Amino acid sequence: MASLRPMTRAQRLRDLLSAERLLVTPSCADSLSAKLIEQAGFQTAFMSGFAVSACRIGQPDTGLISYGEMLDSVRNICAAVSLPVLCDGDTGYGNALNVKRTVKGYARAGAAAIMIEDQLAPKRCGHTKGKLVVDRVEALDRIKAAADARAEGDDILILARTDANHGHGLDEALARAAAFKEAGADILFVEAPRSREEMERICREVPGHHLANMVEGGTTPILPPAELAAIGFAVAAYPLTLMSAAMRAMLEALEALKGQTHPAQLLGFAELRRRVGFDSYYEEEARYAAVRPD
């Protein structure tokens, strides 16, 4: 009897979306932060380009990090966890053919979804100055290319993002989101709405699964998950929350050490080892230990 193939992470994400419950989705920058998200019991994670760029190359999210570096991060993160990970694919790193290559690469690295956006390269964080978007035709071509890559056999969801609200207004952003959905996008992401009213328009005027981007200190109001669900969002992403918390903790620890004291807020060594995976490693290692006679 032929064995059943395991469900792909993309299919698990589709099932979660079909349940019509808000997916509260913290963001990771590396394998360790992804593992902590999974250990905390979340059903999904988001690989934030802002966080990966900061943690991997120590540079701002302004298009400095390469496709190869991002793909390697996707591979490492998805290998460390079993939950579906939505991954930032930026602009697709070139023309429509580059977008197809990027989508295929992310799918084969384990991503459940890839985000493709309509910014003009080099792209930048959606809540910082200087971002520009390509025209609607080029933006739509990117999503069509992503959908074509999926149709050629790589199981992955397409998260289509538009930053058009910044320079062209919400009407243009909504028109793009509707076109992206028609082209095959699974999840829609209108970046940086400025008010609850704009957030309500997004979900009301363009049917589909919408992502809310909860950037602390950014343009969009930070609303509780229950309110986001009531408005109609399917996913609430928190791209900087964990990185911001970790950076503050590291800065405080460094200040303590510089002041000749020892940081107080630390994980116990046993807990740290467990979180990283030493305990499970030792358990599995014991299964393969040679049996020695008495």
Kindly report, residue by residue over 166-206, the tens digit of the pLDDT: 999 999 999 999 999 999 999 999 999 999 999 999 999 99
Q: Residue 163 half-sphere exposure, CB side, CA atoms within 13 Å?
A: 22
CA angle 38, 40, 44 (to 5 degrees): 45
| 152-157: average pLDDT | 95
pLDDT number for residue 219: 93
When the pLDDT of each residue in the chain is averaged and rounded to a whole number, the result is 94
Look up the pTM and report it.
Answer: 0.93
pLDDT of residue 125: 73
pLDDT given at position 1: 46
Is residue 263 scored above 90 in pLDDT? Answer: yes
What are the angstrom distances between the C-alpha of 145 and each of 51, 88, 116, 122, 150?
A: 26, 16, 10, 19, 9
pLDDT at 123: 79
pLDDT above 60 (res 15):
yes
C-alpha neighbours within 13 Å on the C-beta side of residue 208: 24
The whole-number average pLDDT for the span 70-82 is: 98
Six-digit token pair at 131? 């971002």
Maximum C-alpha span of the chain = 78
pLDDT tens digits along 235-258: 999 999 999 999 999 999 999 999
Q: Which amino acid is at 228?
A: L
Region 34-58: what's the mean pLDDT?
A: 97
Residue pair 34/46 in contact (Cβ under 8 Å)? The answer is no
Helix (DSSP H) and strand (DSSP E) numbers for the chain = 13, 8
Question: Per-domain residue ranges for the chain?
Answer: 9-244, 249-287
In angstroms, the CA 160 to CA 112 distance is 14
What local confidence, expressed as pLDDT, does residue 3 receive?
Answer: 53
Percent of the chain having pLDDT more than 90?
88
104: DSSP letter: H
State whether the Cα torsion 46-114-15-22 is positive or negative.
Answer: positive
Backbone phi, psi, residue 157, to 5°: -90, 150
* pLDDT (0 to 100) of residue 122: 78
Across the range 107-123, mean pLDDT stands at 94
- Does position 152 have pLDDT exceeding 80, yes or no? yes
Query: What's the confidence (pLDDT) of residue 6?
Result: 81
DSSP helix/strand/coil, 239: coil
| Beta strands in the chain, from DSSP E residues, in sequence order | 23-28, 45-47, 85-88, 113-117, 157-162, 187-190, 209-213, 235-238
Residue 194 DSSP SS3: coil
Q: Are 115 and 189 in contact (CB under 8 A)?
A: yes
CATH topology of domain 9-244: TIM Barrel (3.20.20)
